Amino acid sequence: MAHITPLRDGKSQKNADMMLVHNRPETTIANEDTNGPSHAHTSMEQTLDKSLKASLAKLTAGLSPIALSAAYADWALHLASSPGKQLELVEKAGKKAMRLSKYAALCSTRPDASEPCIMPLPQDRRFQKEEWQKWPYNIMYQSFLLNQQWWHNATTDVEGVTQQHENVVEFAARQILDVFSPSNYAMTNPEVMAQTVRQGGMNFIRGWQNFTEDVARASTGKKPAGTEAFEVGRNMATTPGKVVYRNRLIELIQYAPSTDEVHPEPILIVPAWIMKYYILDLGDDNSLVRYLTAQGFTVFMISWRNPSAEDRNLGMDDYLSLGVMDAIDAVDTIAGGQKIHAVGYCLGGTLLSIAAAAMARDKDDRLKSLTLLATQTDFTEAGELMLFINDSQLSFLEDLMWDQGYLDTKQMAGAFQLLRSNDLIWSRIVHDYLMGERTPMIDLMAWNADATRMPYRMHSEYLRHLFLKNDLAEGRYRVNNRPIAISDIRVPVFLVGTERDHVAPWHSVYKFNLLSDTDVTFVLTSGGHNAGIVSEPGHPRRHYRVRETSKDDAYTDPDRWMGETPPVTGSWWPALSNWLAEKSGKKTKPPRMGAEGEGYAPLCDAPGTYVLQE
């Protein structure tokens, strides 16, 4: 990979009038890793192969049938050669049939005294209502859960099957079984039947209207129903500020101070580029930006441009140089050389970690602290996303991106929905189409519908070098053809994980402690990848755990850490604010808005123009 060294004294190239995006000459550079994809010249034969696989990928939503077939072949062949495992499964099937028969017999005589023969998993809320405990629905859902448990037994612990293939087969079996859950069909769902009786079938009329509206919106590229009530610049992303820098990849927003005095050290937030930046500036009451400015901080935020096919060759090096390093140059100039509190969220946090490690290697000391929100730097335990990460799957996905020039928002959304199909697919079908009700749109859901694309080269490099090969954690990731190491980072780190994160599982986030050689304050907050971060003071049913670990302390494994760290009721935002304040100087006059004489003249009002791109 070709990367750009972040240099302290070298300012980034600016456009003459700062109103146009500067066009850095694009270079198509072959990946130095011979095992990875080449972004150089494609031969006629390679074009034929890529075109064929790209066409197939459009039919399979980017999922490789070859990768899935390989996983199933591995499992099926090993199961076929394991007669002991087969006998075990036959025995389990017989026992489960007897348990279900006994339960059904007891329900026919003592329906109120019969204990279920199997309980749903804690995260499975489909069968919680009282209606499911009555005949015949109790028999239906108990049968389904026993069948689900048997298939889990059948697809796991087959000796000789590789771990990833086992995970893929188990996941696929679960997805197939969920299609046939009794909760998904009107005649076998007592809640739907009760609603139908109460409303005389009008729920199906409304459900059909909801369905046709959703199909029409999807076919015309419109956002989901209800998002019209949320508009960027009107009731979302409304914190006052100015765009003070723009290049072909980012706009940098400087937010106006809301206090008479501010800490001298500015905050620079690097959000993920997979979605729009304003998850951290949603509404007036749940904006992290607005909260930090109210605590006396000067806040800057990167707003990423939504790439198109012409940006296919933008790579991780471009996101590092044009994104993080250009922003640091600008903040450094505007704040008069004050050291910077850098904050990164999700992919933005991973990129910020790369920048911080490269800066530490090169003796660039402009960072004061590092805050990483739901950020992974070691990808060995990256959750169920790893189901889609192997050479076969990535090659398939790369050919799809090669054809389009980017990964489309719908293709990304489909993968994330599969990871939580019960919550994001089937529960919505039941609620919106069978019950005939609409879940009220909220700002977080509206933001989630405002996705962005991912450039071909960048996403390929990101998946291969970080997810597949774990180069960053293992010291092989290169910036300017020299490796970097997380252990070179010496500034204090505030690290946040969320309890129910399916994108960046908190055990994976916690692995930063194994890689670092600095003081780390780890926070584990309630909620998921997004809702756990947007956790403003006053938000109901929120809690968090927090503990600081010195670089000289012995390592504590994550489960022990959780057991030894008591929960604190409320939002973790004040803990972050207090931590930043402790590492900041005494408050003084706010800095200037931009620096016109030095190439950072204010260009337009926040939220800028890039965030409005479709």
Q: How far apart are CA 598 and CA 600, in angstroms?
A: 6
Q: How far apart are CA 110 and CA 480, in angstroms?
A: 73
Question: Taking CA 132 as the corner, what is the angle to CA 128 and CA 137, rounded to the nearest 5 degrees?
Answer: 150
Q: How far apart are CA 148 and CA 183, in angstroms?
A: 14
Report the candidate in 390, 357, 352 with the shortest Cα–Cα distance to residue 374.
Answer: 352
Residue in the block written with tokens 């503990």: 547
State the helix-helix crossing angle for 163-179 and 137-155, rounded to 10 degrees: 160
State the helix-helix crossing angle for 391-404 and 44-59, rounded to 10 degrees: 100
3-state secondary structure 255-315: ECCCCCCECCCCEEEECCCCECHHHHHCCCCCCHHHHHHHCCCCEEEEEECCCCHHHCCCC
Residue in the block written with tokens 């508009």: 231
Q: Compute the Cα dihedral for 422, 426, 432, 436 and give only its sign.
A: negative
Q: Compute the Cα dihedral for 334, 340, 341, 343 and give only its sign.
A: positive
Q: State yes or no: is 346 an active-site residue.
A: yes
Q: How far apart are CA 74 and CA 71, in angstroms?
A: 5
- DSSP result, 451-516: B--EEHHHHHHHIIIIIIT-TTTTT--EETTEE--GGG--S-EEEEEETT-SSS-HHHHHTHHHH-
Question: Taking CA 523 as the corner, what is the angle to CA 521 and CA 525, rounded to the nearest 5 degrees?
Answer: 175
- The one-character DSSP state at 543 is E
Report residue 488: phi and psi, to 5°.
Answer: -75, -15
Q: Compute the Cα dihedral for 104, 105, 107, 108 and give only its sign.
A: positive
Residue in the block written with tokens 């929905």: 417
State the helix-helix crossing angle for 190-199 and 202-220, rounded to 10 degrees: 110
Rg (CA), the chain: 26
Active-site residues, by number, are: 346
